[in-house]
């Protein structure tokens, strides 16, 4: 019946029925029930009259689509106005329209149609079997387990003889693991995760590995540490997370100062935690909402050598150091994070554009400076604060960087 109504709607080339026709469609919804539904109701009455044997069966969940062939339930107050009656009738007609449209879409798209199971049907055993299958631990072929254990052993032994090969293998492993979502490997078998966790824990906390001069997170122990953090996040086990945290906090002093690249999986976990706390996925940031005055957490005073209170200053930060430009030069100051001393001047260049007012910005690991009265964009070395490159920019405008 509703399918015929739907075809009538489509013949009129309108998305919704006309207001004048709503009354006719509404009365059509309350016509006699089809023979199939009558048989179904009679069968239910007959089954209810019979005594049940065995244990009671729980009611199964009904699909959210509902029974499109049943008449709608309409409730109105005793002194309802004409407009309230019209709005209620129109809502009932539109609900039946949407249910029928959803059913036609599911049938046309090849999806399984909504099935309606009787309340007394024997489905508890099937649901129990499905739950057992879902909760059962995953199993892998023995040959795959043997191959993985062999690869793990090769990585462990190559750290002494071929450290570069071991680092490249760990970097490839890091790219694979951090591509997963938090708890994405929760259902993986323990016989694969456990040896990998022990290997990464051993490599990340080993103090006898050769340390390079550059501390950019590319050392063997730094890459292993990033792999370890990614693994415990995508695994989602509290025990492994606590074990990895404890091992990193109690690591030797030589490893305490090394930089570690933040894995993507850890950043995704941070965003999901923020979403849970805020109750929404999209969270406000300072680019779109600005920085409120009440958002200040802490502050500290800077005593720049030979610099008074006046003058124009520019500031940028890479998350570890603060770079301040004033009429006395360029300063590199600790921010208090990543092992730096807050307010301590680590480097100072007194002859850096002292007679110019400029802009400082940090992007993609590089520090940039541009004078307000000149179009040159200067690239600065963050270690020595020397000029590395000068690029001419002909377009005037305000510079901005989001890092």
Percent of residues, the chain, with pLDDT higher than 70: 69
pLDDT digits (tens, 9 = 90+) for 129-187: 555 555 555 677 777 777 777 888 888 888 888 888 888 888 888 888 888 888 888 88
Rounded CA separation 184/244 (Å): 18
Rounded CA separation 114/128 (Å): 21
- Is this structure's pTM higher than 0.75? no
pLDDT at 35 over 60: no
Rounded CA separation 357/370 (Å): 9
Measure CA of the first residue to CA of the last residue in the chain; give whole Å. Answer: 61
Q: Which stretches within 79-219 are classed as H helix?
A: 82-108, 124-135, 142-161, 163-177, 190-204
On whether the CB atoms of residues 259 and 222 are closer than 8 A, the answer is: yes
Rounded CA separation 20/325 (Å): 74
Rounded CA separation 160/208 (Å): 9
Highest mean pLDDT among 8-12, 110-114, 267-271: 267-271
Cβ burial, residue 66 (10 Å; 0-12/13-18/19+): middle
Residue 39: pLDDT band (50, 70, 90) is: low
Average pLDDT over residues 263-291: 76
pLDDT score at 311? 64
Average pLDDT over residues 266-285: 76
Lowest pLDDT segment from 79-88, 222-231, 243-252, 363-372: 79-88
Q: Which stretches within 236-393 are classed as H helix?
A: 238-249, 253-256, 264-278, 286-289
pLDDT score at 231? 92
Angle at 282 between CA 269 and CA 263, to 5 degrees: 25
pLDDT score at 389? 87
pLDDT digits (tens, 9 = 90+) for 181-197: 888 888 888 888 888 99
Residue 232: pLDDT band (50, 70, 90) is: very high
Lowest pLDDT segment from 42-46, 188-192, 252-256, 351-355: 42-46
pLDDT score at 228? 92
């Amino acid at each position: 019946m509703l399918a015929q109504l739907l075809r009538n709607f489509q013949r009129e080339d309108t998305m919704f029925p006309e207001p004048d026709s709503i009354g006719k469609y509404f009365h059509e919804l309350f016509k006699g029930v089809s023979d199939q539904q009558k048989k179904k109701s009679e069968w239910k009455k007959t089954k209810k009259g019979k005594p049940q044997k065995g244990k009671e069966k729980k009611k199964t969940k009904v699909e959210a689509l509902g029974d499109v062939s049943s008449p709608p339930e309409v409730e109105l107050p005793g002194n309802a106005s004409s407009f309230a009656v019209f709005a209620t009738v129109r809502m009932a007609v539109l609900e039946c329209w949407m249910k029928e449209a959803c059913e036609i879409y599911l049938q046309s798209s090849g999806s399984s149609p909504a099935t309606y199971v009787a309340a007394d049907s024997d489905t508890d055993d099937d649901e129990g079997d499905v739950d057992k299958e879902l909760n059962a631990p995953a199993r892998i072929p023995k040959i795959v387990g043997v191959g993985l254990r062999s690869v793990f052993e090769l990585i462990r032994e190559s750290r002494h003889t071929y450290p570069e090969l071991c680092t490249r293998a760990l970097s490839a492993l890091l790219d694979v693991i951090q591509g997963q979502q938090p708890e994405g490997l929760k259902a993986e078998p323990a016989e694969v995760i456990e040896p990998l966790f022990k290997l990464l824990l051993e490599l990340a906390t080993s103090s006898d590995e050769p340390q390079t001069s550059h501390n950019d997170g590319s050392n063997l122990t730094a890459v292993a540490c990033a792999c370890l953090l990614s693994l415990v996040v995508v695994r989602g086990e509290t025990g492994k997370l606590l074990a990895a945290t404890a091992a990193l906090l109690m690591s030797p002093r030589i490893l305490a100062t090394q930089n570690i690249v933040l894995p993507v999986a850890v950043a995704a976990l941070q965003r999901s935690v923020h979403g849970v706390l805020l109750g929404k996925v999209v969270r406000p940031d300072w680019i779109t909402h600005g920085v409120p005055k009440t958002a200040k957490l802490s502050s500290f005073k800077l005593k720049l050598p030979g610099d008074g209170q006046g003058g124009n200053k520019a500031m940028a930060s890479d998350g570890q150091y603060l770079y301040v430009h004033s009429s006395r030069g360029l300063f590199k100051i600790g921010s208090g994070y990543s092992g730096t001393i807050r307010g301590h001047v680590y480097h100072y260049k007194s002859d850096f554009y002292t007679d110019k007012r400029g802009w400082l910005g940090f992007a993609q690991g590089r520090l940039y400076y541009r004078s307000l009265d000149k179009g040159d964009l200067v690239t600065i070395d963050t270690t020595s604060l020397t000029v590395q490159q000068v690029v001419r920019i002909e377009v005037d405008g305000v510079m901005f960087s989001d890092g």
